[in-house]
Structure 1
Amino acid sequence: MSEYEVYAVKYGTMEGKRSNFFMAKDIHDGPMGLDFFVWVVRGEAGTFVIDTGFEEQTAARRGREIWRPVGEGLKTLDVQADEVSDVVLTHMHYDHAGNHDLFPRARYHLQEKEMAYATGPCMCHATLRHTFEVTDVQNMVQRVFEGRVCFHDGSREIAPGLSLHWVGGHSRGLQVVRVKTRRGWVVLASDATHFYDNFLQGVPFPIVVDVADMLAGFDTLRELASSDAHVIPGHDPLVMARYPQVAEGVVRLDADPIA
């Protein structure tokens, strides 16, 4: 079976408080950072980019900081965005589905449930739609009509040793990515667990469509990964400290943790 290199590429950051990121409040509340990543999976089957981040306009509108644009971060791995053939969107929230023009040749892998959610009656509610950018949704519709979207329903292997798995919870069509690596099965959890502590302590992130699905998703992560240490959270700054750095803001996730 194919084995892949896997990288986390940091592109943005924000500061918050611990109470912002956990449904159960912590009496020891204090400052806590959140990082924004895209991921690269590379092997014999090709190069796959997982999620596409957001751009300057979205960052300014939402009070986020772009640490380095996604395209520039990918270049540190010699990945040219305009040559990428496959992009996986774990879901369509603003920080995972922007940068519309970066990948003109790519087909996009998306869960059917996510497209239905982002274009359906749930978006009539401001509480649910605030995590989406309308231009991201419009651009995905355009890609559908261009024949550039591959829809999935549940679990699907998209290349040997590389598969997608629906978990829901945070967004109705959230999917995680399971990758065969030299150290075993690594799971890119995206927002199935924003931080290590979400799934290790069983405490959901407060932006959630279905709490039961999110909690069940924590179990799914453990079933798919070789161990808890093979689960990669979607936004935890600790990822940058726990894995070996190959370039500024880029760490290698198929390598053994260093911390």
Structure 2
Amino acid sequence: MTDRSEPPYDLFAIRYATHSGRRAVDNFIGGDPHETGSDLAYYVWVARNPERTFVIDTGFGPEAATARGRTLHRLPAEGLALLGIEAGAVDHVILTHLHYDHAGTLSAFPRARFHVQDAESAFATGRCMCHAHLRQAYDVEDVVGFVRCLYGGRVAFHDGVDTLAPGLTLHRIGGHSAGLQVVRVRTRRGHVVIASDASHLYGNMCGRIPFPIVHNVGEMLEGHALIHRLAESPDHVIPGHDPLVMALYPPPAPELAGIVARLDVPPRPL
């Protein structure tokens, strides 16, 4: 049953960084190493209504951009400011997982409670991090910063499916990392799923082709099906890194074109 106890959420994607020069093999298991692949865009997301605001993920900063060869266009907090949101005043941040590009810059949110899956915290601090392949997408300083927030009483744990507020739910998917979660948000156009890295690109989930950075391929493939079941339609699923999001969805104001996209309205035909 649809929950109508409070207004639907306005939903935004904020592009803060990019990565170009990728090959098909970098984006798809089994991709041709000789073929050019899609660039990646890096986003944080915002769901807000008159009652509450949720920031989804916290991105990365200049140190990570330099170390990993990414182009940082603006700090995530600077992107939030374009929507009139002060990072230092945010009360709730959902961390879809703890990879460097989703859980950096935690210090920019000094009063926030961080919402994460039990399985993700255990994965990022447990025995799997003995393996270089599994820890490559984590940044140890980000994880230590997360643990400091935990010891400061600022982490809320979730196990599987949970409701944070009317019209906003968390769903553990796994696959890409052990505790990856997606966010289902009720908007004016129906329920939209912020898939994060359950599907980096439209091509991953539409073709059922896994992204190469993966903990459990089976969970990732099952996750492609689950995110579509959670959404109103395929057009209601937002992948985590596809540059097409900026082309498909309009900006909230002309000056924010290419930076912020409204996800609570239908996509534009290309």
- TM-score w.r.t. the length of structure 1 is 0.98
Q: Which residue pairs with 1:6 in the alignment? A: 11
Which one of the candidate residues 202, 205, 210 is aligned to 2:211?
205
- The gaps in structure 1 that reach 5 residues or longer are none
SS in 2 for 1:78: coil
Quick one: which amino acid aligns to residue 50 of structure 2? E
Quick one: which amino acid aligns to residue 107 of structure 1? R
For the Cα contact (< 8 Å) 2:93–2:112, is it kept in 1? yes
After superposition, give the CA deviation of every residue in 1:26-71 in whole Å (9 maximum; x if it has no partner). 4882242100000000013311100000000111111111011111
Tell me by how many angstroms 1:18 deviates. 2.1
Q: Which residue pairs with 2:159 in the alignment? A: 153
Confirm whether residue 218 of structure 1 aligns to residue 224 of structure 2. Answer: yes
Confirm whether residue 126 of structure 1 aligns to residue 132 of structure 2. Answer: yes
After superposition, give the CA deviation of every residue in 1:174-221 in whole Å (9 maximum; x if it has no partner). 000000011111000000000001010110001000000000001110
Tell me by how many angstroms 1:24 deviates. 2.4
For the Cα contact (< 8 Å) 1:50–1:90, is it kept in 2? yes
Q: Which residue pairs with 2:268 in the alignment? A: 258
For the Cα contact (< 8 Å) 1:45–1:160, is it kept in 2? no
Tell me by how many angstroms 1:19 deviates. 2.1
Tell me by how many angstroms 1:172 deviates. 0.3
Q: Which residue pairs with 2:36 in the alignment? A: 30
Confirm whether residue 141 of structure 1 aligns to residue 147 of structure 2. Answer: yes
After superposition, give the CA deviation of every residue in 1:160-180 in whole Å (9 maximum; x if it has no partner). 000000000000000000000
Confirm whether residue 193 of structure 1 aligns to residue 199 of structure 2. Answer: yes
Confirm whether residue 177 of structure 1 aligns to residue 175 of structure 2. Answer: no
After superposition, give the CA deviation of every residue in 1:7-31 in whole Å (9 maximum; x if it has no partner). 0000000011222100122488224
Which one of the candidate residues 75, 80, 89 is aligned to 2:95?
89
For the Cα contact (< 8 Å) 2:98–2:138, is it kept in 1? yes
Confirm whether residue 238 of structure 1 aligns to residue 224 of structure 2. Answer: no
SS in 1 for 2:47: strand
**Aligned equivalents of 2:67 and 2:50: distance in 1?**
40
Confirm whether residue 60 of structure 1 aligns to residue 66 of structure 2. Answer: yes
Q: RMSD over aligned Cα, in angstroms?
A: 1.1
Pick which of 138-147 and 28-37 moved more: 28-37
Give the strand-richer structure, 1 or 2.
1
For the Cα contact (< 8 Å) 1:90–1:110, is it kept in 2? yes
Which one of the candidate residues 57, 62, 79 is aligned to 2:85?
79
Tell me by how many angstroms 1:147 deviates. 0.7
Identity in percent: 51
Structure 1 segments (4+ residues) deviating >6 Å = none
* Count of aligned residue pairs for this structure pair: 259
**Aligned equivalents of 2:34 and 2:130: distance in 1?**
37
Which one of the candidate residues 37, 43, 50 is aligned to 2:49?
43
**Aligned equivalents of 2:216 and 2:154: distance in 1?**
29
For the Cα contact (< 8 Å) 1:45–1:159, is it kept in 2? no
**Aligned equivalents of 1:224 and 1:79: distance in 2?**
28
**Aligned equivalents of 2:17 and 2:36: distance in 1?**
21
SS in 1 for 2:107: coil
For the Cα contact (< 8 Å) 1:14–1:34, is it kept in 2? yes
**Aligned equivalents of 2:223 and 2:34: distance in 1?**
26
After superposition, give the CA deviation of every residue in 1:91-145 in whole Å (9 maximum; x if it has no partner). 0000000012210010000000000000000001111111100011111111111
SS in 2 for 1:10: strand
